[in-house]
Homo-oligomer: A and B are copies of this chain.
Amino acid sequence: MDITIAIDAMGGDHGPHVTIPAVLHAIRHDSQLSIILVGPRDVLEAELAANKAEAGPRLRIHHASEIVAMDESPQSALKNKKDSSMRVAINLVKSGEANACVSAGNTGALMATARFVLKTLPGIDRPAIAGILPTQKGKVYMLDLGANADCTPEHLLQFAIMGAMLVSCVEHKERPTVGLLNIGSEDIKGNEVVKQAGELLRASHLNFYGNIEGNDIYKGTTDVVVCDGFVGNVALKTSEGLAQMVNRFLTQEFKRNWLTKMTALMAMPVLKAFKRRLDHRRYNGATFLGLRGVVVKSHGGADSLAFQYAIRAAAEESRNGVLERITEQLEIEHLQPQLASQEIK
């Protein structure tokens, strides 16, 4: 299925040096994909030339004169950067010229702008950030990873619906299992919001597994993990910190003396295979779920390979109609007006 993705070519720590090589790779490997590069025309043309490429029917340039800084406040981006590469890429989704957009720009500004321009789906109070993590069994989709620090039980139910439909579409699982992140498996465990969310989930039509604990995330106990944005963000960043420490300790031990350095040389293929299994680049591309359009956020520090995964995620979601599936499920759960799905482009 032909789809078009708008790329905020200037977003992220490396801007077009990363986004353009990733885009060139993506259109070579997906013949039904078209890209609209958004950013200052001269900068993008120069970077294309540096990569021995040029614009064409499947790779258009859409000029945008401004750039949202990585440390810019969402308010400032919304108010002062109306012609930013980020904003214009989102506008292209709104107007229907693009099916989805991808940005490695700053998360707060991207969320605020996407929410302002696209609005939320009927029945969804707040968009959530869904990310992918590796597990012992494969991978898990977790949300919210930080968009909503204070949540109600109803918000958590909405996150569960969105996460389940995302996995259903993208992983082609009929009825993905949904786990509610808690501090014990019994129904009476947890804080008040989570206890009430458990009741809503048990009454829903989702394939609700029940409460899960932190260690279940990486065990791969469920296909979807639901939590508020505070807890999700802490769990994600704690994991990043632990992974960095493990990596550093392992490196230090292998570099301790000439004998351990020799061992490291011999163990290199094994260590590389090990690191490949945990390579965060393969899981790059967090989805902003609940908007009237597909928006994928790449990690700001992503390299070209990682950015390709973010583009691929946006393409998969668009092709598999994740927004329509969410809307259908909201109707099944009686969480939105019956005809609202017709409003969605």
Contacts and interface: CB of A to CB of B under 8 A. Distances in A.
Contacts of A229: 183
| Secondary structure dominating the interface of A | helix
A136 interface: yes
A189 B74 CA distance: 13
B245 A274 contact: no
B270 A263 contact: yes
A227 B227 CA distance: 16
Interface in A101-148: 134-136, 146
Nearest to A183: B233
A76 interface: no
B234 A181 contact: yes
Contact of A249 (B192, B248, B264, B274): B274
Given A230-B183, A231-B234, A150 B192 contact: yes
A260 interface: yes
Contact of A244 (B215, B234, B237, B243): B215
Interface in A211-234: 213-219, 227-231, 233-234
* Interface size class of chain A, counting residues whose CB lies under 8 Å from the partner chain: 35 or more
Given A231-B230, A231-B231, A218 B244 contact: yes
A149 interface: yes
A219 B233 contact: no
Given A238-B215, A238-B217, A263 B267 contact: yes
A46 interface: no
Contact of A238 (B214, B250, B256, B273): B214
Nearest to A137: B245
A269 B257 CA distance: 12
A332 interface: no
Contacts of A266: 263, 266-267
B245 A273 contact: no
A242 to B, nearest CB: 5
12 contacts: A149-B194, A181-B234, A183-B233, A183-B237, A214-B239, A216-B241, A218-B238, A218-B245, A231-B234, A234-B234, A235-B238, A263-B266
Interface of A: 134-136, 146, 149-150, 181, 183, 189-192, 194, 213-219, 227-231, 233-246, 248-250, 253-254, 256, 260, 263-264, 266-267, 269-271, 273-274, 277-278
